[in-house]
Amino acid sequence: MYDIGIIGGMGPKATSILFDKIVNFTDANCDQEHPSIIILDNSKIPDRTHYILTKQGSSPFDGIDEALDIFSSVLKPQGTIGMVCNTAHYFAKLIDKKAKLYGISFINMPEYTLKYIALSNLNKSCCVLCTQGTKTAKIYNQTNHDGLEILYPSDKQCEEVQSIIYQIKDTANVDYIKTALKLARLMEKIGDYTFILACTELSILDKSLLGQASIVDAMDILSMMLVNKSGYRIKMVDNRYDEKIIRTM
């Protein structure tokens, strides 16, 4: 039986990065001190943004629902699950409802990301860097956190962010350095905010190339919460985060 289940494939590269982050954020001295993880990398789940914007085609929830059914038989009692894609959290309420039926704990990535910022000393004006689907569905507005101002880039700027995201998905041709620098220039134009990397493709980029902006990577928060909620020790490998806050969330 497994400690953690990952609903992956959205996209495959981001899924592999999430696994790496969980390993890196775990304070372990040997293999056996790491959480046991099962990853369902279903890359055939339809595009989430296309579905949200058009309501056409098969629902991405069908593939997510299938993963939940599988997890119900392979996770430990009170096992923990996370989902790679921010935009797929459009279905968060449905996922949480079904997970609870199976006695599984669903880590809502946007919810915990906002909770972390609310408890931190970071600028409470947040700019969500995301797909058009996440912006249209206002996924980062589904959770209320007093004192936070949740903003999104303009439509034109969001198109630029989405273009960057889909360039990263094109793993055969992407230039990660050029793409990171392009995002850094856009962030500088947007202004002085706490920037939330709210698409897991953006988590693939080297943050050292993103300038001096205040950044919270939603995938980092998800990784640490999966480790923490599964009862394992966190190893703080990124000094941008406050370990005490993570442990108390």
CB crowding 31-47: b at 16 or more within 10 Å, else e: eeebbebbbbbbeebbb
Known active-site residue 85: yes
How far apart are the C-alpha atoms of 27 and 113, rounded to whole Å? 21
How far apart are the C-alpha atoms of 85 and 90, rounded to whole Å? 10
Please provide the size of the chain in residues. Answer: 249
Strand order in the sheet with 149-151: 149-151, 125-129, 194-197, 214-217
- Backbone phi, then psi, for 211, in 5-degree steps? 80, -160
Inter-helix orientation angle 218-229/109-119, to 10°: 100
- Backbone phi, then psi, for 91, in 5-degree steps? -100, 15
**From 85, 126, 127, 130, active-site residue:** 85
Known active-site residue 126: no
Q: Which of 195, 248, 194, 197 is nearest to 224 (CA)?
A: 248
Active site residue ranges: 85, 199
